[in-house]
Amino acid sequence: YNRITPKGRPISMNETGRQMARDAILGLYPNGGTSIYDAVSSAWDDLCLDIKQNPQDRSIRMIVVLTDGEDNQSKTNLYYLINKIGFSLPNPSGGYFGDAKCKIPVFGIVLSASEASPDFKNLKKLTTSTRGDTAASTPQNLLKLLDKITAYYWLAAEKGPSTSLRE
């Protein structure tokens, strides 16, 4: 994430942003080190800051994770991250985890791990805590995930990006 987008400013999905994302993805090579939780935490921080600094911006924000499923380098703990961004989970105080102003769903696409693997299950815990979801990369699973992403997009477009999927 940090190598693709300028720190503090998410990529807009206009033609320039799409080209930046394409170029960055094409320049990626596996090297055995994966920091999923650190990347999601950093992306969420940037998106949340952008929401708070630009409340008039009606952009629909979401995070999509494309991974081999094994987080083996993060300094960020899964459960710390869920507490930080998991706006769909009730907390012991009667509210919800996360920041009420930053209801940002996370969606995951896992390329090589099976749905039974601990890495897949952990990413699924994270994504569902944000009303997102995770799919293994079969055509059927990817179509279902794309349907969920599209449903979120249209709901947010209709009700506003801060509405999110909790309602």
For the stretch 35-58, pLDDT in tens is: 899 999 999 998 999 889 988 888
- Give the span between the Cα atoms of 70 and 68, in whole angstroms: 6
Could you tell me the pLDDT band of residue 3, with boundaries at 50, 70 and 90? Answer: low
DSSP string across the chain: -TTTS-TTSPPP-SHHHHHHHHHHHHT----S---HHHHHHHHHHHHHHHHHH-TT------EEEEE-S---S-SS-HHHHHHHH-TTSBPTTSSBSS-TT----EEEEESS--TTSHHHHHHHHHHHTTT--EEESSHHHHHHHHHHHHHHHHHHHHH-TTT-S--
Phi, psi (5° rounding) for residue 84? Answer: -75, -45
Question: Is the predicted pLDDT of residue 166 greater than 60, yes or no?
Answer: no
pLDDT recorded at residue 158: 74
Strand partners for 117 = none
Quick: pLDDT tens for 65-105: 988 768 888 999 999 999 999 998 888 888 888 898 899 99
Residue 164: pLDDT band (50, 70, 90) is very low
d(CA 125, CA 31): 25
